[in-house]
Amino acid sequence: MNEEAVAAPQADAGSEPAVVWVPREEWIKTQPQALIASCVMLLDSQGRILLVRYAPGQPIAGDWWLPGGMLDHGEDPCAAARRETHEEIGVELRSPLRLIGIDHRVDICGTGPVLDCFFDGGTLAEGTPIRLSPEHDQYAFVSLDELQDVQTAADVRTLTALHVAVTSGTAVCMREGRPV
């Protein structure tokens, strides 16, 4: 068997599927494609969530969200979370990051499916300097009670579920920002 070939079941009406071997590069074209992003939830000593606001000129200007972004080619989600946090708020995450959630969203701004990986970045020490990238124009620490009054880039239930995951040591699987 050629290791560069993959089994692709095919069936005629009313018959059992037959296995047909196709070249791997052809099979890959038939598989689902999705973008992958990493975001980091950072808390302050009071348990409030650090959010950043997208600056004018950004696709979702005025919306608040967690530091994070898309993976670079060949980058793993954890490395992307560290890189994006440093680029967006100037904070270097040194401790191990814990995966706290995955969210599958079917279509984001016409780009197609996105799989978001969320990580617990820990609690920021009092007085940690925040240096915003040009992509953002403000940051704030927001309590769960205050989230309803904030224009977030995605469903508030996402941030609430992630906050529960951080504080309880669990993880959450979501679809379109809602726990499943």
pLDDT in tens, 91-100: 999 888 999 9
Please tell me whether residues 12 and 79 are part of one structural domain.
no
By three-state DSSP, how is residue 77 classified?
helix
Q: How many residues does the chain have?
A: 180
**pLDDT at residue 1, as a whole number:** 44
Please tell me whether residues 109 and 154 are part of one structural domain.
yes
For the purposes of burial, counting CB atoms within 10 Å of the CB of 119, is it exposed (0-12), middle (13-18) or buried (19 or more)? buried
The mean pLDDT value of the chain amounts to 90
Please tell me whether residues 134 and 162 are part of one structural domain.
yes
Please tell me whether residues 88 and 116 are part of one structural domain.
yes
Interstrand relation of 35-43 and 18-23 (parallel, antiparallel or unpaired): unpaired
Domains identified in the chain, total number: 2
Percent of the chain at pLDDT > 90 equals 69
Looking at the predicted structure, is the pLDDT value of residue 111 above 90? no
Looking at the predicted structure, is the pLDDT value of residue 180 above 50? yes
Alpha carbon 115 to chain centroid distance?
Answer: 6
Closest to 100 in 3D by CA, of 119, 122, 80? 119
Its pTM stands at: 0.84
Please tell me whether residues 165 and 79 are part of one structural domain.
yes
**pLDDT at residue 70, as a whole number:** 93
Q: Any residues with CB less than 8 A from the CB of 5 and at least 6 apart, and which? A: 21, 22, 23, 24
Please tell me whether residues 42 and 21 are part of one structural domain.
no
Please tell me whether residues 125 and 55 are part of one structural domain.
yes
Please tell me whether residues 49 and 14 are part of one structural domain.
no
- Domain with residue 131: its CATH number is 3.90.79.10
Q: Do 90 and 59 meet the contact criterion of CB atoms below 8 Å apart?
A: no
Please tell me whether residues 13 and 91 are part of one structural domain.
no
Q: Which domain holds residue 107?
A: 35-179
Higher pLDDT, 59 or 159: 159
pLDDT in tens, 38-87: 999 999 999 999 999 999 999 899 999 999 999 999 999 999 999 999 99
Please tell me whether residues 58 and 140 are part of one structural domain.
yes
- CB burial string 131-143: b at 16+ within 10 A, e below: ebeeebbebebbe
